Amino acid sequence: MCGIVGYIGSKKIGNRLIEGLKRLEYRGYDSSGLAILDQTMLKSVKRIGRVNCLEEALPEKILEANVGICHTRWATHGAVTEENAHPHVSSDEKFALVHNGVIENYLSIKKFLESEGYKFVSETDSESIVNLIAYHYKKQDTNNKSNRFLESVRKSLLHVEGTFGIAVLSQDHPGQLVCAKRGSPLIIGVGKNEHLIASDVNALTHCTHQVVYLNDNEIVHLNADDFSISTIGNSSVNAVIQTVDWDTTAAKIGDYHHFMEKEIFEQPIALTNGMRGRFSNDSSTALFGGLNISEDELSQIDRIIFLSCGTGWHACLIAEYLIERYARIPVEVEYASEFRYRNAPLDKNSLIVAISQSGETIDTLSALKEAKRKGYKTLSINNSVGSSIARECDGGIYQHAGPEIGVASTKAFTSQLMLCGMLALYLGRMRNLSYSDGCKIVEAFKSLPKLIQETLSVKDQIKLIAKEYADYEDCLFLGRQLMFPIALEGALKLKEISYIHAEGYPAAEMKHGPIALISESCPSVFLTTSGEMFAKTLANIKEVKARKGKVICIASEDCEIPEDSIDSLIKVPIAHEIISPIVMSIPVQLLSYYIAIERKCDVDKPRNLAKSVTVE
């Protein structure tokens, strides 16, 4: 979850490291630090708080260095202190290291190293690696100076259990940088007389668009002019250089107050980009170019298991409804973090689909690897082409939503919902969904950007509602069928960015326990369309009002709701069932956003959260 940036080259580190680190702050913002090599002296500066606290503390001399590593932390092992901040320096002061991941056997490593006289000053697991490198470096043949640094890192990692993305500097090797990964993302930026490394491509694009995505258990040895990749087991690897083709200005905030606000209002264009070129010429079905699974193979699929976490899991629930309805294929939705550790019986014709915005979610990646190990076909829906999940799967569907910086997902979520609906259409047309129904669904998808733009126009009304409800500390979100996952997502958004305790339930389940929470101090947000569930949802609303609960209702324009049944009403455009969850997501996002603003919360960087969850 932490952010790593490193640089070695002919230029000053200056903005190269600090600008990159700012672009990674969504990955962690408890503390940050930077280490450089000044001739043959290691120097480091660490600060609690955001990257700007570090930036203000950096002497100009440090920013003039030509090699350095930096880190922004999301705390796992140890409190938020400068001692626990990265980079960590070995007790002999010869090495500095930054680390993302979790070292599972760090206690045994630490105990051994302490017996050898190595000192520890932090509570972190990361410090065990840098001291282990120092230990192996001391044992290496001093005559083999060219490879001594690299081999010390390699030998150390052979003893490490867990996940890591690391970058290491050595006092004795000022013109070198060594990095490695297992389970945590790490990318090389290739420049002219310079190289960079980072845990997200977005931290590199201000310097270069040429990148190499490292695979698990690979180690890279860099200098200003060249780099080489090998496995930790010491087999050589040929680097594959790719070009990042998205516009870096998309990651800038522009005239908006927050990235989350920007990304909410970018949804019409994000959805347009996600469906571009993905409908058949006769507009009766969806097309996906990167599935790498033939139609014959897909036609044999008799069960689909979706894996995800958090917001992506809610998108999977929508996929379950839509694929079962339109393709008539049984679907199961699993928490990726639980699936890996279950011995779930799977049919031989099962398809595994992973959903992850970043493509680096460690729980989802681990579950996916377990499914592949058992021989199942795998697909992914994600927003990062070169991500670990995208490369691990047999095939995938790229979201084309553009970079999402705000920790709370908005446009990536609605993009996932859209692609799940398009996948349901694609699979349905392969089976028994009629041509005419396919054409109606494609027409609905094409109308989606316009409907989202119309829905965004209710922002001023939602601002007023947010002012009225910002001081409550509890809230329920309730919906039926397709609206239930959106209720879950609404509750999650409110929790994430406003710190209000919120829960999502199927509206009918309210009577089976949650109704005990209903009171004047616990408002309920109901989501409903005019379909077959409307009358039943209206009955649930009346049950809340009968117990003096306040009701915010988000409803499609054709819903007739008695005024005395609700306290606040938000109307959205009428939409086809397959896209209605996307339309209903917009007011849910806006309500959470404006409530968080009223509560003066840090919307883009909520406490305790990071956007890309790369540790278990």
470-491 pLDDT, tens digit each? 999 999 999 999 999 999 999 9
Question: In whole angstroms, what is the distance from residue 561 CA to residue 552 CA?
Answer: 12
pLDDT in tens, 118-160: 999 999 999 999 999 999 999 886 666 668 999 999 999 999 9
pLDDT in tens, 373-390: 888 999 999 998 778 888
What CATH superfamily classification does 3-245 receive? Aminohydrolase, N-terminal nucleophile (Ntn) domain (3.60.20.10)
Question: Does the pLDDT of residue 447 top 80, yes or no?
Answer: yes
Burial class for 19, CB neighbours closer than 10 Å (0-12, 13-18, 19+): middle
Tell me which H or E stretch contains 96: strand 95-100
Question: Does the pLDDT of residue 247 top 60, yes or no?
Answer: no
Question: In whole angstroms, what is the distance from residue 368 CA to residue 361 CA?
Answer: 11
Out of 2, 316, 475, 553, which one is annotated catalytic? 2
DSSP 87: P
Q: Which residues pair with 210 in a beta bridge?
A: 243
pLDDT in tens, 499-556: 999 999 998 888 888 888 888 899 999 999 988 888 889 888 888 888 888 999 999 9
pLDDT for position 246: 61
Q: Catalytic: 2?
A: yes
Q: Which residues pair with 379 in a beta bridge?
A: 353, 395
3-class secondary structure, 320: helix
Half-sphere exposure of 556 toward its Cβ, with a 13 Å CA cutoff?
A: 21
Band (pLDDT 50/70/90 cuts) for residue 2 is confident
Mean pLDDT, residues 407-424: 96
> Strand runs (DSSP E) across 248-385, as ranges?
303-308, 331-335, 350-356, 377-382
Residues of the chain by 3-state class (helix, strand, coil), percent to 5: 40, 25, 40
CATH number of 457-605: 3.40.50.10490
Question: In whole angstroms, what is the distance from residue 346 CA to residue 348 CA?
Answer: 6
Question: In whole angstroms, what is the distance from residue 421 CA to residue 416 CA?
Answer: 9
Question: In whole angstroms, what is the distance from residue 261 CA to residue 257 CA?
Answer: 7
Question: In whole angstroms, what is the distance from residue 523 CA to residue 161 CA?
Answer: 47
CB 36 within 8 A of CB 171: no
Lowest pLDDT segment from 54-63, 301-310, 588-597: 54-63
Q: In the predicted model, what is the mean pLDDT of the chain?
A: 90
- Which architecture does CATH list for 246-456? 3-Layer(aba) Sandwich (3.40)
Half-sphere exposure of 517 toward its Cβ, with a 13 Å CA cutoff?
A: 18
Task: Report the chain's terminal Cα–Cα distance, integer Å.
Answer: 10
Band (pLDDT 50/70/90 cuts) for residue 261 is very high
pLDDT for position 185: 87
Q: Which residues contact 292 (CB under 8 A, 6 or more apart)?
A: 394, 395
3-245 and 457-605 agree in CATH topology? no
Read off the pTM.
Answer: 0.84
Question: Does the pLDDT of residue 432 top 70, yes or no?
Answer: yes
Question: Does the pLDDT of residue 454 top 90, yes or no?
Answer: yes
Q: Catalytic: 252?
A: no
Q: Is 298 left (phi over 0), alpha (psi -120 to 50) or beta?
A: alpha
- Tell me which of 171 and 78 has the higher pLDDT: 171
Tokens of 481: 């069928």
DSSP per position, 501-557: EEEEEEGGGGGGTGGGG-BTTB-EEEEE-SSTTHHHHHHHHHHHHTTT--EEEEEET
Sign of CA dihedral 517, 518, 519, 524: positive
Domain ranges in the chain are 3-245, 246-456, 457-605
pLDDT for position 77: 76
Out of 94, 110, 411, 611, which one is annotated catalytic? 611
